[in-house]
Amino acid sequence: MFYGLSHIEESFLQHNLIKFIAMAPCSISTGKMKDSDPTEVDHAFYNFVEFQYHKLGIYDVKGPDWESSLKRGCKVFGKEWCNLTSTLDVQPYGVQ
């Protein structure tokens, strides 16, 4: 639904949707785009990294334990992940 709201709101939804209620919405974004096409999200990165956080004991980004989570992630995921996540300028958020 969030994809539709951001891509077809004016062309379709404004004429066909009366109300949208999102109960506890959750979305995941690494901000990591494909190197070959910067308009596409790098789904392989999600599979390799994002969905492995809980196994490593990483439960939030930029939260109270971020320094130890960052060290653990850098050791496991390597330099590219470390460079990307250590420069994030975001509010803390939980990973699921």
Question: pLDDT, tens digit, for every residue of 13-59?
Answer: 888 888 888 777 666 555 677 888 888 878 887 777 777 888 898 88
Based on the structure, what is the number of domains in the chain?
1
Residue 45 sits in which domain range?
A: 2-94
What digits encode the pLDDT tens for the residues 64-96? Answer: 899 999 999 999 999 988 998 888 888 888 876
Helix axes 66-77, 79-86, angle to 10 degrees: 150
